[in-house]
Amino acid sequence: MKKCVVLVFVVFASCMGHVTGNLQIDGEPFAATSCRYGRVGGFSGVELSDDHGRRLRLAENLDGTLACAYFPPDSRIGDNLGTCGTVNFRPEGLAGVKGSVTLACKSEKHQLSGGALFQYCR
């Protein structure tokens, strides 16, 4: 019985969102620890989050370009960083997404740079 429990846990754990990369916000590292498929939030893209409550929302525009918004901790309204990078989204499984992003964004308030790979975002 223990083997079944461990196997179920391993299968479940392997389906959790995973992000790797080297992103920076305002010159400080942004170590994304989770990702969510944008459809959950009503947009076409992905949202990356770190352990400090910061979020990056990466959405695909109708013309295929990338729009980016930065949400500081506890903020419901993000800073629109505009179209400032490239993204590659691919469906994964029944309700998930995987892909990669390269960013070079600058607004009046924030700068964002770097790249990341993400998978199992649900």
**Lowest-confidence pick of 4-8, 55-59, 83-87, 109-113:** 4-8
**Other beta carbons less than 10 A from residue 70's beta carbon:** 22
Report the domain count for the chain. Answer: 1
Pairing of strands 111-121, 96-106: antiparallel
CA distance 18 to 1: 29
Tokens describing residue 112 = 């964002």
- 10-14 mean pLDDT: 42
Rounded average pLDDT over 78-99: 89
Residue range of the domain that includes 39: 2-121
